[in-house]
Amino acid sequence: MSAPPADPAQRTTESGIPVEPVYGPEDLPANLDERLSPPGTFPFVRGPYPGMYRVRPWTMRQYAGFATAEATNERFRYLLQRGQTGLSTAFDLPTQMGLDSDDPRALGEVGRTGVAIDTIDDMRRLFREIPLADVSTSMTINAP
């Protein structure tokens, strides 16, 4: 952390951008109407939904993934029945690395830290009986 400025009225961000003590209408860019749009309209700078969180509460997700698609599906349905509004899939390391479960390099890691997904049929089992039109999903694949 840097030392506070000698003059408290002269502050900067961590990137060195000056921060004024107070901002007013004269500080807005002249073309603001061209740069902004109402919420729910392109280019979505004010969010993807017209009413945003006032009419659509924040999505609640619990990161979940068990060894098999069936076990993870069971957990997903359990969470949705108890109020979760979105799904976040935890994949095992071989899946994250693009390896099939029967690849020799996957030995001992299949299903260990999340769900093992090798085929489209695994994905179908993962989301069986889940209304995907009504539930948003997040799938995190970390770089090896």
d(CA 45, CA 81): 33
pLDDT at 4: 63
Q: What is the largest CA-CA distance in the chain?
A: 65
Query: Strands, DSSP E only, in the chain?
Result: 11-12, 18-19, 63-64, 86-90, 136-140
Quickly tell me which residue has 């948003």 as its tokens.
Answer: 136
The domains of the chain are located at 17-56, 63-140
Q: Give the model confidence (pLDDT) of 94-125 as tens digits.
A: 999 999 999 999 999 999 999 999 999 999 99
Q: Where residue 59 falls among pLDDT bands split at 50, 70, 90?
A: confident
Tokens of 67: 């060894």
pTM of the model: 0.65
Q: Give the model confidence (pLDDT) of 5-48 as tens digits.
A: 567 668 899 999 999 989 888 888 888 877 788 888 888 888 88
